[in-house]
Amino acid sequence: MSQGSYDTSVLPLTITDLFAMKQRGEKITCLTAYDASFSALIDKVGVDMILVGDSLGMVVQGHDTTLPVTIADMVYHARSVSRARRRTFVIADLPFMSYSTPALAAKNAAKLMQFGGVQMVKLEGPHFETVRFLVNQGIPVCGHLGLLPQRVNQLGGYKVQGKEPVEAERIIAEAHQLQQAGASILVLECVPALLAKTISTELSIPVIGIGAGVDCDGQVLVLYDMLDIGIDKRPRFSKNFMHDAPTIEAAIGAYHQAVKQTQFPSDQHSF
């Protein structure tokens, strides 16, 4: 795709813009992307955020889990995505074991920002000290709670989290602690819709759901799932937006509109 037709006067979205969207009740849209062509298309449609997810280990590299993904892989894909976007806010995942100490997290987050060109890094789990350390170095952080794919071997599979009251209380407490540690955004994956609604209401930072119901401040899906081109079966919380769309651009546009108008996710795509 030629990039010559893009309006170079478009300013990149900032975290301030995303906070303002939460405050005025405008849903935030996000899709994963791993390369320049999809990044440019998602940007052109007007989707607010791109997540360069370590899900690339499964949908691009063909692994069973996200565990084999390296920081070098993430930097490579983040750089491809960042190069092609104009307005969309870009976040990249710190992969498995790349943030096992605050110092290691800072070293690898710096690679994603300096060489990958991203605006924020995401890490999975209740790593409050690490989040605080990164934020103190000027690195914006997105937390991730609920289903943590990097812990699939501990969890015993990709299962809905927070169904039991004690577990739900733990996730709520961790969400507050991540916000206090300085996280700017929280991703909530595969949790009951009511739990996600509680957390989205209680937190002042934007909460982006995936399999977490319609009441989050925004939604994210794995691009290959919503285009129905994934290797594995599409998860229940995702939707095939290619079903009624003549082009990939139209499918991404339909997702963007459906999220903005709170038509996605429906009960069928929630727990």
Judged by CB under 6 A, which of 175, 186, 196, 222 binds ligand KIV?
Answer: 222
Q: Which two tokens stand for residue 237?
A: 């919380």
Lay out the site mask for ligand KIV across 194-213 (x = CB under 6 A, - = otherwise).
----------------x---
Query: Would you call 141 helix, strand, or coil by DSSP?
Result: strand
CB 203 within 8 A of CB 179: yes
Examine the residue annotation and report whether 189 is marked as an active-site residue of this protein. yes
Q: Which listed range, 50-58, 151-159, 195-203, 241-249, lies at the site for ligand KIV (CB under 6 A)?
A: 50-58
Query: Would you call 28 helix, strand, or coil by DSSP?
Result: strand
**How would you classify residue 148: left for phi > 0, otherwise alpha for psi between -120 and 50, otherwise beta?**
beta
Q: Is 217 in the site for ligand KIV (CB under 6 A)?
A: no
Q: Is 53 in the site for ligand KIV (CB under 6 A)?
A: yes
* Start-to-end CA span in the chain (Å): 38
Catalytically annotated residue among 26, 189, 202, 249? 189
Cα dist. 49→91, 126, 189 in Å? 8, 23, 16
Q: Is 29 in the site for ligand KIV (CB under 6 A)?
A: no
Q: Is 31 in the site for ligand KIV (CB under 6 A)?
A: no
Query: Would you call 84 helix, strand, or coil by DSSP?
Result: helix
Judged by CB under 6 A, which of 43, 93, 174, 215 binds ligand KIV?
Answer: 93
Q: Which two tokens stand for residue 249?
A: 């651009």
Q: Is 54 in the site for ligand KIV (CB under 6 A)?
A: yes
**Residues catalogued as catalytic:** 189
Residues that bind ligand KIV (CB under 6 A): 32, 51, 53-55, 93, 187, 189, 210, 220, 222
